[in-house]
Every structure is written in C-alpha cells, then in structure tokens.
Amino acid sequence: MLDISGLRKTFQDKVALDGVSFAVRPGEMFGFVGANGAGKTTTMRIVMGVLSPDAGQVSVNGVPLGFAARRTFGYMPEERGLYQKMKVGEQIDYFGRLHGLTPQGAAKATAELLERLGLTERRGDAVEALSLGNQQRVQLAVALVHDPEVLVLDEPFSGLDPIAVDALAEVLQERARGGVPVIFSSHQLELVERLCDSIGIISAGRMVASGAVDELRSAEGQRLRVVVRDAKPGWADNLPGTLTVAGDRETLVVTGGDDQEILRAAVQAGRVEHFGAERPTITEIFKEAVS
C-alpha cells in the first residue's frame, strides 16, 4: 500500500500542494489526473524524494518512505532521463546495475525487457536514433529493469501513437496483476478510464475527487440520453435537459424527469435511434470536479 497523506508544498508565495491525500493498493492501477500546474508532478517528485514536503507524509505499508524503500520503486519522470548517445541495451543494463543487480542479473533482465517491449532489433542503436515511441519503451524498461515493488510514472503515454500506447499499457497491466501498485499521471482521460481501477483528480493543489472508477461514476447518478433523427423543430422545448444538434441528429441528455413522457415526445418527433440510461464518463466527472 502506497499512502500519500496530507502533503503540502509551497514555492515562495505559491501553494503547489494543499493537503493532498490518496492511497494506491497492491495490484491497483491509479490514474492521477489534473490540468497543467495542478500539482501532479510535484506530488510524484515528493513520493520519489526529489522534493521534500513542507508537511505530510508518504508511507508504504504503514512505514514512512525512506531511501532504501525508494530504491525498490520504478520511476518514469516527465522529463525523460535517457542518455541519448548510449546504446539501448547498454542503457537498460546500466540502470539495472545502478539499482544493485549483478552483471548477470542485469543482462538477463535487459534481454527479457527488450523482447517484451519489442526492442530486441534496436538493442545496438543509440537512443537518439529511436522514434519517440521507442524512446518511451526504453524509458519504461529502465523503470522496470530491477523488478520494482511500486511504479510511479509521470505522463508515460504522452505523445505516443495508439500501438505504442497499447504496448506500454499491457506491460503496466501485467505488473499490476502481479501485485505492484501502479500510479501514473495522464491528460488522456479516456485511457485512464479504460486502464485504471481508481483515479484521483487534483485541481490547484487540492484533491477534488478520489476513488474507484465505478464508484465515482455511480456517485454522479445516471442520466437519460435520447437520440432522435429528423426531429420536428421544437420537440424538446418543454422537456428538461440539454439538447445538442449534429446534422440531422438531435441528442437530449436529461438528469431526472419523466422517462415515459420524454420517450413519447421523442417518438412523436422523429426516428428514435437511442434511448437509455447511462453513467457519466471520467472526462465529464473531471470537467465537473475542476469547474
């Protein structure tokens, strides 16, 4: 269990973090989301010991986090930390040995990760010769080479094409299934919703929402979504909700109201293509939470 409790951090007169608290359980994928400057990177740097908090604590399994425990973490910073002139295989091996692996152990872990991440054929290439997607794979390999007990990843999917996103996501899911707590920040909310068990939303240094994805979506309640094609003008004027128009399709989204009354109005107005209850997306919850 990675537990972040009451973190506060100021830079001169700017409050970067104001009582940030959340927990990531073993085997859990936790998505940490927020606008630029909300406090995500500052929180992760405190977790990794790059920054010290003014107040609050980070602990693992109830024990305050120190240097020895942090050595067991895998960290992927937002500013990538690869040596551009070094060859791919040499780089992963080097970081493995920095983490305390024996030469034999580092070589074995490097070979396994090169194969797992589809980099075997690029083993002898300099990092600077790789595409952004492949550099991201190397950065992830560096974070994984010592078989970390916790993964902390700052924007790991930034700038990647869908194939690279899927490749990295699959590796992270494998680690989570093995019991590793995984926390990553991302602006890609659809991806966070697809991958994560829980999320935390931070705004202006404060946690404004946190919890399991299903629980957060259920807590917002269901709304009714109706799609009518070739509808008569003004059909929804006396109905509650928000109406949007796209070509010959009109979509009414309603929270509350009489479902049967709305259905009758839609049927009389035109061809009903969709009528059903649905829960809000994480994107919608995020917009509401930070507004």
pLDDT, tens only, 144-195: 999 999 999 999 988 788 888 888 899 999 999 999 999 999 988 999 999 9
Mean local confidence (pLDDT), 213-237: 88
pLDDT for 159 equals 77
- The CATH label, of 3.40.190.10, 3.40.50.300, 3.40.309.10, 3.30.300.130, for the domain at 2-212 is 3.40.50.300
pLDDT tens, 9-40?
A: 999 989 999 999 999 999 999 999 999 899 99
Q: Which residues contact residue 217 at a Cβ distance below 8 angstroms, ignoring those fewer than 6 apart?
A: 279, 280, 281, 282, 285
State the fold for domain 220-290. Answer: Alpha-Beta Plaits (3.30.70)
pLDDT averaged over the chain? 92
Instruction: Please choose, from the candidates 118, 123, 3, 119, the residue with its C-alpha nearest in 3D space to the C-alpha of residue 56.
Output: 3
Confidence of residue 280 (pLDDT cuts 50, 70, 90): confident
Q: Specify the residue for token string 């006396």.
A: 238
pLDDT tens, 99-110?
A: 999 999 999 999
pLDDT tens, 73-109?
A: 999 988 878 999 999 999 999 999 999 999 999 999 9
The whole-angstrom separation of Cα 113 and Cα 127 is: 16
